[in-house]
Amino acid sequence: MTEQHSSALAGRERIRPDRPEWAAGDIPPHRRPLPLITRDALTVPTARPTHDRLAALDEQRHVGTWSPEVARLRERGAAIRRETLPDLEKCLRQLTGNVERNGGVVHRAATPADARAVIERIARENGVRLAVKSKSMATEEIHLNSHLTAHGIEVVETDLGEYIVQLADERPSHIVAPALHKSRQDVADLFGQLAGDEVSGDPDELAAFARTRLRADFKAAGMGISGVNFAAADTGTLAIVTNEGNADMVTSQPRIHVAVMTVEKVIPRFADLGVLIPLLCDAATKQRVSVYQTLVNGPRQEGETDGPEQLHLVILDNGRTKALGTPQEEVLACIRCGNCQIACPVYRTVGGGHPYSAVYGGPIGAVLSPLLGEPGKDSDLPFLSSLCGACYDACPVKIPIPDLLVNLRAEHERARPDARTARAGWRAWSLAWRTGTGFRATLAAARLAGRLLPERLLARLPGPGRGWAGGRALPPLREAGAFRRWFHGRDRRQG
């Protein structure tokens, strides 16, 4: 095998990285507190335009409302996605059997390290120097690109959005549209730096620029790495939906195809794709169906003219099966449409998923990330939500994200290092407010504080008031209890 270099990435050293630390492909292990990161995120120049674009998209698509036809699909889809949960392992075994019968090799990976090791070994054993990849959040989760690169295997993202964030050394900021935080001009600038030349901001030209550069890599790559949208247990079919057709290339051109899925991607029946693909496409892009649906049924068989020689399916757990049987298991019904992210006003305001400082941002990220990886990691994410509920309305499989966020907040509070003090405060509050006298005492204290202390001073006192007062006038505390006094005083006046 000759030494192969990516042509799509040629010139990469010319790119001047221009991104906040928390947008990086590899998340810094000791990240700063979320309130500070999100505060900074508001000042990033792309934040406001991103917000405005997403808010317009949200209005235009009527995110959160469903046509009668799709509403019916939604009911069926929600049920299908929960069918596997009571016995996920059985479905995975059935899937494994059928993929193997089709000539594929199945690898189970409990951890990201396991998954990385398997893929690296497959690449090494086959002398792979260059891999092309179609969109896969599972490979983001295991930080596959940096791992393979560190082992001398070049990886090229072939989804346009993924290619853009790869060049910019960032993570996807949205699970379906990875570069939605970048304007056309941002992309033109990036491509311009790569090419060492002016590149026009015309969307067709930008796509053509990427396609031309990627073409040679599709030919040269020894390995294609893809994600999986749905894996049908009864036939062993791996379904991948794209609008660019790059998954067709990734899964058919190179000698080896490695598909990476997480455990919950398994669905009971091939026929369920008839519900789930249109549902996914409606939620993700408001299409009736995506431009391409790639169905992989094993490697090239005797007598076939194309397809890879080897098919490997890597099934990653990474903590998910621990959620089975708990109220949090509904997270595993997710079909990764990204609609909850578009619907989320917090996600939009902070300019996309990066400030969440996890592989998955937005509402789905806030309920999924805490379940992954080491316990305690990302457990504060569920607080980064105003619990407005737009995500639930937007979810094609009806995951009760707000309820799950509330559950996870309770788990965070139970497990935090200073849990006892935190709880003690709330317990004291609850004990006081469990009596009429205690509550009236609070009202009297608030009124007194409101009367005696100037707002400037009130705003500096420790407690929630300080967070509040930074950008808002305080409520009129001196009127605490005024309503009760009025009500009961009136009774007396009227005798």
Partner 1 sequence: MTDVDTDAGAPPRPARVALFTSCMGDLAAGGPARATVEVLEAMGVTVELPRGQTCCGQPALNSGHPAEAGALLDRWLRIFAPYDAVVTPAGSCAAYLHHHLGRLREPTPEQRALIQRTYEFSQFVVAYGAGLRLRLPGSVTYHDSCHMARTLGERRAPRELLSRIAELEVREMAGCDTCCGFGGTFAAKFPDVSVAMADTKLGTVAASGADWLVSADPGCLLHLSGRARKAGPPVRTRHLAEIVRDALVPAEVPAGTGAATEVPA
3-state secondary structure of 131: strand
- Is residue 63 within 8 Å of residue 343, measured between CB atoms? yes
396 binds ligand SF4 (CB under 6 A): yes
For ligand SF4, which is the closer residue by CB, 132 or 283?
Answer: 283
364 binds ligand SF4 (CB under 6 A): yes
For partner 1, which is the closer residue by CB, 276 or 350?
Answer: 350
430 binds partner 1 (CB under 8 A): yes
Angle at 295 between CA 291 and CA 298, to 5 degrees: 155
3-state secondary structure of 72: helix
The least distance separating partner 1 from the CB of residue 173, rounded to whole angstroms, comes to 16
Residue span 40-79 as binding mask against partner 1, x where in contact by CB under 8 A, dash where not: --x--------x---x--xx--------------------
By DSSP bridging, strand 130-133 and strand 223-226 are parallel
Phi, psi (rounded to 5 degrees) for 372 = -95, 155
Phi, psi (rounded to 5 degrees) for 175 = -75, -15
Interaction residues for partner 1, span 323-362 (CB under 8 A): 345-346, 349-350
Measured CA to CA, the distance from residue 430 to residue 420 in angstroms comes to: 15
Residue 321: CB partners within 8 Å, gap ≥ 6?
88, 89, 263
Measured CA to CA, the distance from residue 329 to residue 85 in angstroms comes to: 8
482 binds partner 1 (CB under 8 A): yes
Residue 45: which of ligand SF4, partner 1, none does it interact with, CB under 5 to 8 A by kind? none
Residue 480: which of partner 1, ligand SF4, none does it interact with, CB under 5 to 8 A by kind? partner 1
337 binds ligand SF4 (CB under 6 A): yes
Residue 304: CB partners within 8 Å, gap ≥ 6?
none
180 binds ligand SF4 (CB under 6 A): no
For ligand SF4, which is the closer residue by CB, 180 or 397?
Answer: 397
Q: Which residue has the tokens 């090799």?
A: 105
- 223-226: strand order across its sheet: 105-109, 310-316, 256-262, 223-226, 130-133, 154-157
* Part of the chain binding partner 1 (CB under 8 A), chosen from 69-77, 169-177, 256-264, 427-435: 427-435
Position among 399, 408, 477, 480 found at the interface with ligand SF4 (CB under 6 A): 399
408 binds ligand SF4 (CB under 6 A): no
Interaction residues for ligand SF4, span 255-294 (CB under 6 A): 283
Joined together, the tokens standing for residue 291 give 């431009």
340 binds ligand SF4 (CB under 6 A): yes
- Is residue 292 within 8 Å of residue 300, measured between CB atoms? no
Quick count: other Cβ atoms within 10 Å of Cβ 467?
11
Position among 318, 381, 385, 401 found at the interface with partner 1 (CB under 8 A): 385
92 binds ligand SF4 (CB under 6 A): no
- 292-296: strand order across its sheet: 266-267, 230-232, 237-242, 292-296
What single DSSP character describes residue 170?
Answer: B
* Part of the chain binding ligand SF4 (CB under 6 A), chosen from 11-19, 70-78, 293-301, 330-338: 330-338
Position among 68, 196, 303, 470 found at the interface with partner 1 (CB under 8 A): 470
424 binds partner 1 (CB under 8 A): no
By DSSP bridging, strand 154-157 and strand 130-133 are parallel
- Is residue 242 within 8 Å of residue 294, measured between CB atoms? yes
Among 202, 207, 216, CA closest to 161: 207
Position among 311, 390, 395, 397 found at the interface with partner 1 (CB under 8 A): 390
For partner 1, which is the closer residue by CB, 268 or 400?
Answer: 400
If binding means CB under 6 A, how many residues of this protein chain bind ligand SF4? 14
If binding means CB under 8 A, how many residues of this protein chain bind partner 1? 70
335 binds ligand SF4 (CB under 6 A): yes
Residue 301: CB partners within 8 Å, gap ≥ 6?
103, 307
Position among 51, 182, 336, 412 found at the interface with ligand SF4 (CB under 6 A): 336
358 binds ligand SF4 (CB under 6 A): no
Angle at 18 between CA 369 and CA 159, to 5 degrees: 60
Residue 423: which of ligand SF4, partner 1, none does it interact with, CB under 5 to 8 A by kind? partner 1
List contacts with partner 1 (CB under 8 A).
34-35, 38-39, 42, 51, 55, 58-59, 345-346, 349-350, 383-390, 392-393, 402-403, 406, 409-414, 423, 426-427, 429-430, 433-436, 438-439, 442-443, 446, 464-468, 470-477, 479-484, 486-488, 490, 494
List contacts with ligand SF4 (CB under 6 A).
283, 334-340, 364, 394-397, 399
